[in-house]
Amino acid sequence: MSVLDFCKWLQFSAPLVAMRSSPWLFPIIATVHLMGLAMIGGAVLVVDLRLLGLGLRRQPVAQIARDAERWLLRSLLVSLPTGALLFMCFATKYYYLTFFWVKMASLLAVLVFTFSIRRRVTMADETRVSPAWSKVVALVSLSLWTTVAIGGRWIGFP
């Protein structure tokens, strides 16, 4: 089964057909997806600003990171399922849109990056992490998330 066939199968399954036939279900799911996105922004920004030596810079990185991670996970719990539903609704259309794949690739990259390298840097003993590397990690994180967001916004454009 090709990727396109899989998209077709998803899109025409019963729950997705029901989602498409309601005039308000898609907008509501899209709105909740957007709220999750805003929350992700806050949780990510608080930590990345701290890594850049901005924001809550009088607090230890690890303390901020630990509190923020809880909310990052919760907001991902909102954004990922709603995103999946939005995708499945028009899967065969998204399959052909470049920016959708740009978004998915950068999303995968940023999630892997966040929960491996960035996590290691934020939870490490601060005296052992050079400020230069902290800034690099923050900038990579911010760049990837920005790509995800812009990619998401531009999905509809050729």
Partner 1 sequence: MFLIVLTVHVLTLTVFVGTAVMLDLRLLGMTMTRVPVSEVMGRLLPWTTAGFLVMIASGALLFYAAPMLRYQNVFFRLKMVTLVLAGLNVWIFRNTVYRRVAEWDLDPVPPRRARVAGGLSLLLWAVMITLGRMIPYQLYWFD
The span of 13-21, 33-41, 84-92, 98-106 binding partner 1 (CB under 8 A) equals 33-41
Contacting partner 1 (CB under 8 A), which of 95, 101, 113, 154? 154
Instruction: Draw the binding track, 119-148, toward partner 1 (x: CB under 8 A; -: no contact).
Output: ---------------------------x--
Give the whole-angstrom CA distance, residue 151 versus residue 14: 29
Give the whole-angstrom CA distance, residue 52 versus residue 143: 13
**Residue 81 near partner 1 by CB under 8 A:** no
**Cα 125–127–131 angle (5° rounding)?**
105
Q: Rounded to the nearest whole angstrom, what is the least distance from the CB of residue 135 to partner 1 in the complex? A: 17
Element (H, E) at 147: helix 131-153
Which residues, other chains included, contact 144 with Cβ-Cβ below 8 Å and sequence gap of 6+?
106, 109, 110, 113
Residues that bind partner 1 (CB under 8 A): 23, 27, 30-31, 34-35, 37-46, 49, 55-59, 63-64, 67-68, 70-71, 146, 149-150, 153-154, 157
